[in-house]
């Protein structure tokens, strides 16, 4: 490579890194200005920068795959409805259409065109989960998307800098928490404004009239790196299956993965038909997590953008649970979508020398709770609980970690400060990780009650792996199955709405991650350490791992 070419390559790489820093600052603004605790505390959000063709160039580190990878496709829908030559400085667009956004009504996507010296040079976008969108609330009980809340088509939130107060008034009138919802929507706008400002600063610093050359550099290099990574996976077709609890009936997922020199193609033909309840995963969301699963194993070091995503494709028959058609209910699409990386891993395990990690808890358990406040009024809140991650071929699984979503837990103090709820217990659950040479990640147990002398309700919309725990690999044991119910009585089974009577306490035990390898081959010192830490009980150490009583000392 000539010296001039090398210097140009280095400069492009520097600008690429700066672009990633720009979009990360964009996400951090949203994290700091969001009103809702799900976005502010759990980080259920994402941000990205796109070229004028709508191709994602950079994503923020802060955020979830379900948001980032769905937004990679969502921008095209905005450009289709608002052609570039009609966009003006100060315009801001939004929608929460599940099939053209991120998969359910609770996520609003906000897009802002970036202008420099009067020319449109890029687009920035962001999304986050809003606390409420009206309808029946965060529940899988809806029989159509019309019951699940208000759906906003692609429209202008700002028109040449003028806020569309009529749109905001319509949204606020249809939700239970209008202040938080308005605050989150405007936080998304502020987030995009920060991205616009920093991108323009960067272009000024490097004297860039256009980001087109940088875009081609990013996309070409990323696609080439992905193709090289795919070339290290043996070509062929690999198949996997998975059964989940479902709602009214068990769900069967079937996947065929074909690896070729040009890319990897996933096909969900044979999977269950769409459910009449709200656990369906729109294809945009199914694509997002399927591709994330591939990228985690095949090319984790390659940046996520339109170039690296292009060789990874997904097919799913219409009207299946991974490709429901409007107006299917979709609120709890996590139940299916967030399990898909494990199904992809099952195929990759057959192809990759040494294998890949065991199955994880998968879907986060969103604790959507509501009820009466002492002295009058009602509360409507969300907390997040997560289970264990599957053991890896050479390491234990991570405990109480949201994989694949990556969201954080909302501090109990935040929920307790705004509601009468009290978390009486939140700790790792002993023996919940699947046994193996490498142990699955532990889940957690949570106990909640209300200070109000009134019942409260919890939606179990995203609770799964109660009947079908995370499977181990290479004779590793499954993780513990999930459980929830009343501390002094009934154990709940369904994904519907459940009532916690006054004076009683809700318990939630999350699923654990599966183990990897023969438990009898686990290092004896590791077993002793697990017993001392409370991760494994003495009985399990003896009966499952074969640790003799004399060895425990």
pLDDT tens for 9-51 read: 899 999 999 999 999 999 999 999 999 999 999 889 999 999 9
Domain range summary for the chain, segments of one domain joined by +: 3-210, 232-353, 357-522
Q: Please enumerate in sequence order all residues whose Cβ is within 8 A of that of 302, keeping only pairs 6 or more positions apart, or say none.
A: 222, 225, 226, 229, 295, 308
Angle at 520 between CA 517 and CA 522, to 5 degrees: 70
What digits encode the pLDDT tens for the residues 176-220? 999 999 999 999 999 999 999 999 999 999 999 999 999 999 999
Band of the pLDDT at 2, cuts 50, 70, 90?
A: low
- Whether the ω angle into residue 404 lies within 30 degrees of 0, i.e. cis, is yes
% of the chain surpassing 90 pLDDT: 92
Q: What is the mean pLDDT of the chain?
A: 95
Give the DSSP letter of residue 268.
Answer: -
Q: What is the mean pLDDT of residues 135-148?
A: 96
312: tokens are 């990874």
Dihedral over alpha carbons 537, 539, 543, 549 (to 10 degrees): 110
**DSSP-assigned beta bridge partners for residue 252:** 243
Q: What are phi and psi of 92, to 5 degrees?
A: -140, 135
CA 125 to chain centroid, in Å, comes to 17
Angle at 162 between CA 160 and CA 165, to 5 degrees: 140
- pLDDT of 553 higher than 60: no
- pLDDT of 552 higher than 50: no
Alpha-carbon span 336 to 245, nearest angstrom = 10
- pLDDT of 68 higher than 70: yes
For 265, the 3-state DSSP assignment is: strand
Pairing of strands 45-50, 56-59: antiparallel
The closest alpha carbon to 233, from 315, 343, 356, belongs to 356
The pLDDT of residue 63: 84
Q: What is the mean pLDDT of residues 97-112?
A: 97
- pLDDT of 514 higher than 60: yes
The closest alpha carbon to 359, from 405, 403, 322, 400, belongs to 403
Beta carbons within 10 angstroms of residue 552's beta carbon: 14
| Cβ proximity of 443 and 479 under 8 Å | yes
Q: What are phi and psi of 122, to 5 degrees?
A: -170, 175
- pLDDT of 420 higher than 60: yes
Give the DSSP letter of residue 448.
Answer: E
| Cβ proximity of 208 and 180 under 8 Å | no
The pLDDT of residue 5: 78
Give the DSSP letter of residue 249.
Answer: S
What digits encode the pLDDT tens for the residues 267-284? 999 999 999 999 999 999
Three-state secondary structure of 256-308: EEEEECCEEEEECCCCCECCCCCCCCCHHHHHHHHHHHHHHHHCCCCCCCHHH
293: tokens are 């699963």
Alpha-carbon span 271 to 120, nearest angstrom = 43
pTM across the whole model? 0.96
The pLDDT of residue 530: 98
The pLDDT of residue 6: 80
- pLDDT of 550 higher than 70: no
Q: How far apart are the first and last CA of the chain?
A: 63
DSSP 317-367: -TTBTTBPPTT---TTTHHHHTTHHHHHHHHHHHHSTT--PPP---S-EEE
Alpha-carbon span 221 to 245, nearest angstrom = 42
% of the chain surpassing 70 pLDDT: 98
What digits encode the pLDDT tens for the residues 219-272? 999 999 999 999 999 999 999 999 999 999 999 999 999 999 999 999 999 999
């Amino acid at each position: 490579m000539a010296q001039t070419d090398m210097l140009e390559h280095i400069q492009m790489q520097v600008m690429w890194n700066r672009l990633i820093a720009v979009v990360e600052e964009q996400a951090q603004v949203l994290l700091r200005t969001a009103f809702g605790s799900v976005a502010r505390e759990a980080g259920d959000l994402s941000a990205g920068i796109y070229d004028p063709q709508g191709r994602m160039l950079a994503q923020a580190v802060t955020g979830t795959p379900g948001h980032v990878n769905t937004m990679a496709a969502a921008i095209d829908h905005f450009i289709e409805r608002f052609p570039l030559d009609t966009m003006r400085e100060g315009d801001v667009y939004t929608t929460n259409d599940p099939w053209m956004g991120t998969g359910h009504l609770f996520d609003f996507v906000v897009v802002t065109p970036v202008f420099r010296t009067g020319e449109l040079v890029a687009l920035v976008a962001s999304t986050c989960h809003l606390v409420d969108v009206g309808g029946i609330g965060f529940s899988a009980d809806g029989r159509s998307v019309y019951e699940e809340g208000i759906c906003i088509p692609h429209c202008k939130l700002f028109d040449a800098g003028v806020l569309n107060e009529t749109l905001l008034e319509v949204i606020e009138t249809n939700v239970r928490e209008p202040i938080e919802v308005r605050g989150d929507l405007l936080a998304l706008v502020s987030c995009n404004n920060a991205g616009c400002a920093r991108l323009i600063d960067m272009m000024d610093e490097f004297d860039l009239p256009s980001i087109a050359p940088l875009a081609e550099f990013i996309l070409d290099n990323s696609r080439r790196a992905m193709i090289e990574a795919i070339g290290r996976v043996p070509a062929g077709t690999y198949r996997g299956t998975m059964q989940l609890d479902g709602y009214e009936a068990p769900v069967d997922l079937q996947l065929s993965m074909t690896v070729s020199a040009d890319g990897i193609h996933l096909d969900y033909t044979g999977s269950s038909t769409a459910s009449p309840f709200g656990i369906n995963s729109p294809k945009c969301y199914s694509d997002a997590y399927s591709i994330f699963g591939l990228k985690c194993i095949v090319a984790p070091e390659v940046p996520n953008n339109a170039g690296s995503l292009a060789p990874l494709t997904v097919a799913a028959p219409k009207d299946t649970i991974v490709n429901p058609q409007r107006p299917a209910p979709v609120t709890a699409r996590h139940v299916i979508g967030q399990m898909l990386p494990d199904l992809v891993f099952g195929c990759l395990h057959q192809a990759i020398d040494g294998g890949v990690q065991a199955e994880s808890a998968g879907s986060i358990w969103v604790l959507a709770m509501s009820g009466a406040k002492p002295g009058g009024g009602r509360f409507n809140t969300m907390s997040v609980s997560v289970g264990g991650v599957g053991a890896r071929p050479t390491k234990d699984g991570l405990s109480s970690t949201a994989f694949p979503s990556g969201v954080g837990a909302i501090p109990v103090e935040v929920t307790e400060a705004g509601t009468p709820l009290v978390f009486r217990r939140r700790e790792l659950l002993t023996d919940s990780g699947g046994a193996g040479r490498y142990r699955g990640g532990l889940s957690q147990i949570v106990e909640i009650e209300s200070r109000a002398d009134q019942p409260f309700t919890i939606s179990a919309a995203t609770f799964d792996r109660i009947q079908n725990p995370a499977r181990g690999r290479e004779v590793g044991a499954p993780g513990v199955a999930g459980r929830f119910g009343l501390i002094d009585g009934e154990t709940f089974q369904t994904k519907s709405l459940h009532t916690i009577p006054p004076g009683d306490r809700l318990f939630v035990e999350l699923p654990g991650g599966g183990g990897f390898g023969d438990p009898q081959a686990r290092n004896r010192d590791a077993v002793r350490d697990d017993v001392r830490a409370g991760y494994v009980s003495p009985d399990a150490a003896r009966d499952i791992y074969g640790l003799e009583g004399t060895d425990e000392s």
